[in-house]
A and B are shown apart, each in its own frame.
Chain A
Amino acid sequence: MAFEKLAGDPRKLQPLLPKFPGKVTMATANPISDIPTPSAPPITGLLVCLAPMPEEQLGSVLANLTSSFPAEDLVVATPDTFSTDSWPGIRFIPTPATNASWTLTASDFMHAHQLASENEARAILMLGPGSSSLRSSALRDLGNTVLDGSADLAVPCYDLPARAGLINSAILYPLSRALFASRVRFPLAVDLGLSRRMAERLAMGAQRFAATNQSEALIWPINEAAAAGLLTREVDVGPRATPQPSETDINAILASVTGSLFADIDAKAAFWQRPRFLPPPRGPVPFAPSTDAAADVAPMLDAFRLAYTNLQEIWSLVLPPNSLLGLKRLYVTDGAEFRMQDGLWARIVFDFLIAYRLRTINRGHLLGALIPLYLAWVASHINITVSGTNPERHIEAVAAAFEADKPYLVSRWRWPDRFNP
């Protein structure tokens, strides 16, 4: 009843009843002790949760928000302290800052849900670091998608340079598309639009991590929405300055991101093993201008060759002979001709996912052994795009290879000892 009231038209909600009608949990402790809470907070249209940012960026974001939404419908939660005199119509509430600098974590989702419950917000717009680079139309589209009830989760589609977001292109997007039947291009987006029930679902997942002192763990909204049967919609937002991890060791970050996704896939195995219908693409494959500048792939190839000579015994514990043969062929390939087949990469990722589940070797070692193979894929991708192929078309081909090899993953998942080609 509460959802119907908030949405305005109960008929819209009838086919969208959630599979897990959980209760709306109210926050039992108000972390904002010095701010007087009104006894009956007004019903808010949109709660906007901002990441810490410099004041000039904050001003830019607030200007974009006020140009997109009525000020009286906005509640902005920010950990920054600044003068609010310039924004008289907007209600500001402080929120504790988190340690994560480049993505949304479990604690962010928990805070967002708590604030939304306290302020009776109809929808939540979470903006990560660097959101001042987003256009006001992007914020409007993201917010309105969840405000009008057409979707529970609004995920942006960024217009990034051809050689940015390579981990997303290599692993996150193909896995998400193959297993959860989602064409969302950026499953780990730093900006999200959430409905109340989507926020509740994400907060439930975040609480499990918080209970084990892992408040900085990653949450995968696409996977959660798919498992809960909630609607997801992708919104084109144009270019964005993507925040980079403060940790300079890419090995550790890649291992943590990939490990988090593998763990989430492992937890939702009962869901993704069933056949899923992939929705049609929203439009033609966008043409990302591939640069003719030859990137230096030699260090990545050297890393792959060094790993091939040293990590053979570890890879042989995880990969079947077919994949090892494919890697051997790559090892003897020259730099300019270095091309990793899409099917080979898909099977490598699937085999590592299975090894992660079976704990064939220590998981930290497993994810460390994946890094040189990822660098080999990056080198291959750059070589392909330098030769004139549209980068987005190649990424779509990789994702299609993941989809095509899903039966392989399901077979090895169910019968790990019997099916090992």
Chain B
Amino acid sequence: MQNILATMLQEGPNQNAAPAYIDNASVWRHMSDALHQSLYRVLSLLIAILPGILAFFVALAIFTVIGMIASAVLRRGLSWVRFDDHLARSRGNAEWTPATSPSALIARGSFWVCVLLGLIIGVSAFDASYASAATRPISLLPYLTHSVGAIFLLIAGSLIARFLARSVLIGAVNAHLQYARFLSLGVKWLVLVLTAAMVLDHLEVGGIVAELAFGILFGGIVLTLALAVGLGSRDLVSRSLESHVDRSGEHAVVPPNPPPTNGSESIRHF
């Protein structure tokens, strides 16, 4: 079969059939060599960064253990010196908003600081081994730190959005506004959209496209709220404001003398 092919492909009587066979073999060998080389490079890279991965996990584990020890020591130490009581006395009757005690917060915070340190050191170690092993000097560390910052931004933005939404909801309900929930949702999504834009900007994702999209979306939400409140619910707003003024007059009127017992009595909460 090969002789027939060689004969068919033979260009001249003097041409030898052996080089075609040798070219095919060399093509396969070349392809095989290339595959082997690329596989070798991948394996070499993987082997080169394995120590970095191991260093990452070791650093994270060590600092987690350190964090647990520090948290336990701090918790016991602060409860031994009655830190919460001293702080409460020094702050008087000022409100302490978090649900957990100050000493528990400090202990928990110290643990997560140690974990974060372990993450940073582990990433540095991984980054160093990756940069040395890779042919191109690409460093992952700056992008990872940006990612951590973006995660913090996202968490903070979500918390602020939830707090503001609840504040607006309760305030609007007590102001007898029928569209209280709508207002609350609008405020929440305004803050969330702003947070998302900040996160994308921090990650340097999207560039000008993300900025434009945020501007259009934010402006659209604000315009929608303004139209809904100003035009669409104009009657509701005027009725709410009128009833609010009437109720303010009813609650805030301060008769200098005791009101007459006959006839109608106004409701006085104080």
Q: Chain B contacts of A362 at CB under 8 A?
A: 97, 163, 166
- Cross-interface CB contact of A289 among B163, B261, B266, cutoff 8 Å: B261
Q: Chain B contacts of A254 at CB under 8 A?
A: 269
Q: Is the CB of B248 within 8 A of A248?
A: yes
- Interface residue count for B (Cβ, 8 Å)? 43
Within 8 A of B (CB), among A232-258: 239-245, 248-251, 253-254
Known: A212-B93, A248-B252, A302-B176. A163 touches B266 (CB 8 A): yes
Known: A241-B256, A295-B267. A211 touches B92 (CB 8 A): yes
- Cross-interface CB contact of B258 among A161, A211, A372, cutoff 8 Å: A161
B180 contacts A by Cβ under 8 Å: yes
A314 contacts B by Cβ under 8 Å: yes
Q: Is the CB of A244 within 8 A of B252?
A: yes
Q: Is the CB of A378 within 8 A of B267?
A: yes
A162 and B261 CA atoms in complex are apart in Å by 9
Q: Chain B contacts of A314 at CB under 8 A?
A: 166, 169-170
A97 contacts B by Cβ under 8 Å: no
A365 and B168 CA atoms in complex are apart in Å by 10
A307 contacts B by Cβ under 8 Å: yes
B28 contacts A by Cβ under 8 Å: no
A167 contacts B by Cβ under 8 Å: yes
Q: Is the CB of A310 within 8 A of B252?
A: no
A214 and B89 CA atoms in complex are apart in Å by 14
Q: Chain A contacts of B259 at CB under 8 A?
A: 161, 164
B173 contacts A by Cβ under 8 Å: yes
A410 and B97 CA atoms in complex are apart in Å by 23
Q: Chain B contacts of A161 at CB under 8 A?
A: 258-259, 261, 265, 268
Within 8 A of A (CB), among B248-270: 248, 251-259, 261, 263-270
Q: Is the CB of A167 within 8 A of B93?
A: no
A397 contacts B by Cβ under 8 Å: no
Q: Is the CB of A166 within 8 A of B267?
A: yes
B136 contacts A by Cβ under 8 Å: no
Known: A242-B270, A303-B176. A208 touches B92 (CB 8 A): yes
A69 contacts B by Cβ under 8 Å: no
B243 contacts A by Cβ under 8 Å: yes
Q: Is the CB of B258 within 8 A of A240?
A: yes
Closest to A303 in B: B176
Q: Chain A contacts of B166 at CB under 8 A?
A: 314, 361-362, 365
Q: Chain B contacts of A240 at CB under 8 A?
A: 258
Closest to A240 in B: B258
- Cross-interface CB contact of A209 among B92, B171, B253, B270, cutoff 8 Å: B92
A193 contacts B by Cβ under 8 Å: no
A389 contacts B by Cβ under 8 Å: no
A400 contacts B by Cβ under 8 Å: no
- Contact indicator per residue, chain B 229-260, by CB within 8 Å of chain A (1) or not (0): 00000000000000100011001111111110
Q: Smallest Cβ distance from A214 to chain B, in angstroms?
A: 6
Q: Smallest Cβ distance from A260 to chain B, in angstroms?
A: 8
Q: Is the CB of A166 within 8 A of B268?
A: yes
Q: Is the CB of A365 within 8 A of B170?
A: yes
A369 contacts B by Cβ under 8 Å: yes
Interface centre among B97, B169, B266 (most CB of A within 10 A): B169
Q: Is the CB of B251 within 8 A of A250?
A: yes
Name the interface size band of chain A.
35 or more
Q: Chain B contacts of A302 at CB under 8 A?
A: 176
Q: Is the CB of B170 within 8 A of A311?
A: yes
- Cross-interface CB contact of A363 among B92, B95, B254, B257, cutoff 8 Å: B95
Closest to A207 in B: B92
Q: Chain A contacts of B97 at CB under 8 A?
A: 359, 362-363
Within 8 A of B (CB), among A111-133: 130, 133
B94 contacts A by Cβ under 8 Å: yes
Q: Chain A contacts of B169 at CB under 8 A?
A: 310-311, 314
A324 contacts B by Cβ under 8 Å: no
Closest to A188 in B: B270
Known: A167-B270, A310-B181, A365-B166. A212 touches B252 (CB 8 A): no
Q: Chain A contacts of B99 at CB under 8 A?
A: 358-360
Q: Is the CB of B254 within 8 A of A368?
A: no
Closest to B97 in A: A362
A361 and B162 CA atoms in complex are apart in Å by 12
A162 and B258 CA atoms in complex are apart in Å by 12
Q: Chain B contacts of A311 at CB under 8 A?
A: 169-170, 173
A102 contacts B by Cβ under 8 Å: yes
Q: Smallest Cβ distance from B165 to chain A, in angstroms?
A: 11
A137 contacts B by Cβ under 8 Å: no
Q: Smallest Cβ distance from A211 to chain B, in angstroms?
A: 6
Closest 4 CB pairs of A and B: A212-B92, A248-B252, A244-B254, A368-B170
> Can you list 6 A-B contacts with CB-CB less than 8 angstroms, sorted by A residue number?
A163-B268, A212-B92, A254-B269, A303-B173, A307-B174, A368-B171
B-binding residues in A (CB < 8 A) = 102, 130, 133, 160-168, 208-209, 211-212, 214, 217, 239-245, 248-251, 253-254, 260, 263, 267, 289, 291, 293, 295, 299, 302-303, 306-307, 310-311, 314, 358-365, 368-369, 371-372, 378, 382
* 9 additional contacts (CB under 8 A) given A248-B248, A362-B166: A163-B265, A208-B92, A212-B91, A212-B92, A250-B251, A306-B178, A310-B169, A310-B173, A368-B170
